[in-house]
């Protein structure tokens, strides 16, 4: 069996970024990955402006009890007159700073009457002035290739006046579930059958990462069904995920089907629990990742092993989200021959710090543990883990995004 870290690295490098790119409007940019470095095109702010409602003046014109005539009232969007010596100009947040002014006094420190203003607190030169270019300067780096665009990035791009942006093409994913015992949700089910939860789950995981599940197919346990499904998926998709049929049973036919299509296995079996039966093959340069059939195992393998590959193919700069270390609460020592990934909730301890509480039943078929969990706690192989030992914590909010 391959060690988890080796398997994760191997899968993360199984394919490069897509060569396709799209020009999209700013309204459609969130969730896409930037395909070219961007530089700022304008200074932000484009000119010195006031960060307060108040008055612009020369610091040298202030004195205790001095009342300055109000030369002009200048609103945001107006162009102010040059400031006359011994005068003040009424400004509002965002108003341009008049030529000749070197400070802004907030209105709370002033008294205005009869067209004059008296300032109660000595001003400091440069206060409450937002300088031209203090946010971004034209020509400076703005965003790098591989940035996953979110609302904050959209705000930055809009501030530069950009209406469109070039992004990597959407990753087209194909999902293939296998097994004669599976029926689609909503269909009649016999006693010996179960509903297919893997297909809808993996499609939702793909969408959650910004990928497009082009096909979600199901094949019966026959070589003909598998080959037909694979041909459709490989024709239309960049990445193919299969679920089940990759172990060593008589009807585990996924590996033979991959071999028939010319696929060579790069890995098979990973030293992790849940999720040991994992396979990686390439057909016509396209990666095919085979996941274990138990839904919890498929979920964990997708989060830990497949998500970095998805990010790489999407062109993202960051493949591996950060991993923290937190104390694990356990009533008895835990130890396994494989690295174990426990479904856990992160909770606040009595002192306000975080701690990890495992789900009571860690069976690989216990689907109810998935919506309950906030992340996965990684326990080392062959090492007993005691109560309150600190272990790596993989937050699913980040690993599945």
147: preceding bond cis by omega (within 30 degrees): no
pLDDT of residue 246: 66
CA-to-CA distance for 309 and 323, rounded, in angstroms?
A: 17
CA-to-CA distance for 379 and 88, rounded, in angstroms?
A: 68
Q: Left (φ > 0), alpha (ψ -120 to 50) or beta: where does 115 sit? A: left
CA-to-CA distance for 176 and 378, rounded, in angstroms?
A: 28
CA-to-CA distance for 261 and 284, rounded, in angstroms?
A: 9
List beta partners, residue 74.
Answer: 91
The mean pLDDT value for 23-35 works out to: 98
pLDDT of residue 247: 60
CATH topology of domain 49-130: Molybdopterin biosynthesis moeA protein; domain 3 (2.170.190)
Give the pLDDT band of residue 180 (cuts 50, 70, 90): confident
Give 219: exposed, middle or buried? Use CB within 10 Å, 0-12, 13-18, 19+.
buried
Give the distance, in angstroms, between the CA of residue 13 and the centroid of all CA atoms in the same chain.
Answer: 19
> What tens digit of pLDDT does each residue of 322-347 get?
999 999 999 999 999 999 999 999 99
pLDDT of residue 53: 98
pLDDT of residue 314: 98
CA-to-CA distance for 312 and 306, rounded, in angstroms?
A: 10
pLDDT of residue 266: 79
Q: pTM above the 0.85 mark?
A: yes
Question: Are 287 and 20 a contacting pair, CB within 8 Å?
Answer: no
Superfamily of domain 324-399: MoeA, C-terminal, domain IV (2.40.340.10)
Residues, the chain = 401
The mean pLDDT value for 37-65 works out to: 97
Q: Where are the domains of the chain?
A: 4-19+170-314, 21-44+136-168, 49-130, 324-399
Average pLDDT, the chain: 95
CA-to-CA distance for 361 and 303, rounded, in angstroms?
A: 20
User: What CATH code is assigned to 21-44+136-168?
Assistant: 3.90.105.10
> What tens digit of pLDDT does each residue of 290-312 get?
999 999 999 999 999 999 999 99
Q: Which CATH class is domain 4-19+170-314?
A: alpha beta
- Which residues, 6+ apart, have CB-to-CB distance to 182 below 8 Å? 193, 194, 195, 196, 218
> What tens digit of pLDDT does each residue of 114-145 get?
999 999 999 999 999 999 999 999 999 999 99
- Which residues, 6+ apart, have CB-to-CB distance to 57 below 8 Å? 68, 83, 87, 88, 89, 101, 103, 105, 119, 123
CA-to-CA distance for 57 and 89, rounded, in angstroms?
A: 7
Question: Are 118 and 65 a contacting pair, CB within 8 Å?
Answer: yes
> What tens digit of pLDDT does each residue of 242-266 get?
998 766 555 578 888 888 999 888 7
First to last CA, the chain: 28
pLDDT of residue 249: 55
The mean pLDDT value for 65-82 works out to: 97
CA-to-CA distance for 81 and 79, rounded, in angstroms?
A: 7
């Amino acid at each position: 069996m391959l060690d988890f870290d080796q398997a994760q690295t191997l899968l993360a490098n199984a394919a490069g970024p897509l060569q396709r790119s799209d020009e999209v409007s700013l309204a459609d940019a969130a969730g896409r990955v930037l395909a070219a470095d961007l530089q700022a095109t304008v200074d932000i702010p484009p000119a010195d402006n006031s960060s307060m409602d108040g008055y612009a003046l020369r610091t040298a014109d202030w004195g205790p009890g001095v009342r300055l005539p109000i030369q002009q009232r200048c609103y945001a969007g107006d162009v102010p007159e040059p400031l006359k010596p011994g005068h003040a100009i009424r400004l509002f947040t965002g108003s341009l700073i008049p030529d000749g002014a070197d400070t802004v006094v907030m209105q709370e420190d002033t008294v205005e009457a009869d067209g004059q203003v008296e300032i109660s607190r000595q001003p400091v030169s440069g206060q409450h002035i937002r300088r031209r270019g203090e946010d971004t300067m034209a020509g400076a780096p703005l965003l790098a290739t591989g940035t996953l665009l979110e609302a904050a990035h959209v705000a930055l791009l809009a501030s530069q006046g950009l209406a469109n942006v070039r992004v990597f093409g959407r990753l087209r994913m194909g999902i293939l579930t296998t097994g004669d015992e599976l029926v689609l949700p909503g269909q009649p089910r016999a006693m010996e059958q179960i509903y297919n939860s893997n297909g809808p789950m993996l499609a939702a995981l793909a969408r959650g990462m910004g990928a497009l599940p082009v096909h979600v197919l199901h094949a019966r346990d026959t070589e003909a069904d598998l080959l037909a499904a694979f041909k459709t998926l490989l024709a239309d998709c960049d990445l193919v995920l299969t679920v089940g049929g990759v172990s060593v049973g008589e009807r585990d036919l996924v590996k033979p089907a991959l071999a028939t299509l010319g696929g060579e296995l790069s890995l098979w079996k990973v030293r992790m629990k849940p999720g040991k039966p994992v396979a990686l093959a390439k057909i016509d340069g396209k990666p095919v990742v085979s996941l274990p059939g138990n839904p919890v195992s498929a979920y964990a393998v997708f989060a830990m092993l497949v998500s970095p590959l998805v990010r790489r193919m999407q062109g993202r700069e960051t493949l591996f989200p950060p991993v923290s270390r937190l104390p694990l609460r356990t009533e008895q020592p835990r130890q396994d021959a494989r690295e174990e990934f426990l479904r856990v909730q992160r909770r606040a301890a009595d002192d306000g710090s975080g701690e990890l509480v495992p789900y009571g039943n860690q069976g690989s078929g216990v689907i109810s543990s998935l919506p309950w969990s906030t992340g996965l706690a990684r326990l080392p192989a062959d090492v007993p883990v005691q109560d309150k030992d600190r272990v790596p914590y993989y937050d699913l909010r980040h690993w599945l995004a």
